[in-house]
């Protein structure tokens, strides 16, 4: 048996890892899926029958990212982690809202103990199948199935933010890295699809109980030379939920697109 940072979603006790399942001292047991992830979300924490991104959205993101359109962001993130977190096999990194694991799997190649949580069962399954170095679980960022003060670094990449939970699971002086879209992210994409495109709203960086250490802007221009890549980009963004029929028709007619990508990497330390 081996100890992990996972906690029981039923009683909150620590979970111990066995070959086929995880269990706590009160004998609540959670089977591992064939791909390797474990489902640690309770019925009370679900706000939908099948919460999170569906398989089609996960597949679209995987296919888009596999073509390295966002590789510059992934490499910049890896550089920040190396700079801020000394190489230590005992360091614990948690990706809260990890999706299909594009960033998590890359970090696990050089970092310590890596964990990924996502509310989508499909996302956890995709991630676990492709990455055997990381511990993946189905769980909500608003009810992380993670022990208190167990994480040296918490990643929050294009995912919902839960202040109280992030404070709870981070160690004293632990690090938080958030990645958010900058104002002009995908600007030309928006111009091609929408009558009145708008810039992303970037909120104030201040977070209570965190010291703001730095902001890094990561920009690039990407060229999408197929309608498939353009559709995949659309499906992995929030625009997929709120775009009308007229705009979707414009999108279907696009066969190539050059657009700006713009991100902000925000680094904090728990105080």
- Please list the helix, strand and coil fractions of the chain in percent, rounded to the nearest 5, in that order: 30, 30, 40
Across 245-257, average pLDDT: 92
Mean pLDDT of 119-147: 95
Residue 1: predicted pLDDT:
41
DSSP code of 243? -
pTM: 0.94
φ and ψ at 23, to 5 degrees? -145, 155
* Domains contained in the chain, CATH given: 2-270 (3.40.50.150)
CA atoms of 86 and 105, how far apart (whole Å): 19
pLDDT for the residue 239: 83
Chain-wide mean pLDDT for the chain?
93
- Candidates 101, 165, 110; CA nearest to 137 is 101
57-70: average pLDDT:
95
Percent of the chain with pLDDT over 70: 96
Q: What is the mean pLDDT of residues 53-69?
A: 93
Residue 159 backbone phi and psi in degrees, to 5:
-130, 160
């Amino acid at each position: 048996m081996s100890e992990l940072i996972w906690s029981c979603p039923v009683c909150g006790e620590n979970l111990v890892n066995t070959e086929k399942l995880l269990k706590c001292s009160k004998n609540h047991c959670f089977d591992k899926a064939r791909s390797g992830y474990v489902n640690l979300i309770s019925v009370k924490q679900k706000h939908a029958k099948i919460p999170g991104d569906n398989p089609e959205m996960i597949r679209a993101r995987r296919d888009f990212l596999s073509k390295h359109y966002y590789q510059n962001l992934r490499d910049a993130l890896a550089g920040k982690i190396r700079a801020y977190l000394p190489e230590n096999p005992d360091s614990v990194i948690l990706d809260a809202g990890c999706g299909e694991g594009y960033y998590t799997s890359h970090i696990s190649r050089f970092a310590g103990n890596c964990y990924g949580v996502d509310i989508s069962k499909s996302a956890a399954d995709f991630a676990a199948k492709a990455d055997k170095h990381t511990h993946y679980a189905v769980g909500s960022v608003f009810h992380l199935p993670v022990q208190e003060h167990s994480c040296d670094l918490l990643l929050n990449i294009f995912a919902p933010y839960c202040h109280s939970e992030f404070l709870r699971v981070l160690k004293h002086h632990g690090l938080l890295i958030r990645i958010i879209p900058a104002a002009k992210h995908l600007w030309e994409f928006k111009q091609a699809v929408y009558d009145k495109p708008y810039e992303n709203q970037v909120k104030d960086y201040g977070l209570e109980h965190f010291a703001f250490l730095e902001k890094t802007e990561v920009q690039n221009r990407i060229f999408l030379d197929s309608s498939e890549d353009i559709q995949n980009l659309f499906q992995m963004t929030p625009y997929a939920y709120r775009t009308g029929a007229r705009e979707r028709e414009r999108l279907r007619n696009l066969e190539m697109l050059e657009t700006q990508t713009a991100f902000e990497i925000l680094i904090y330390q728990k105080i």
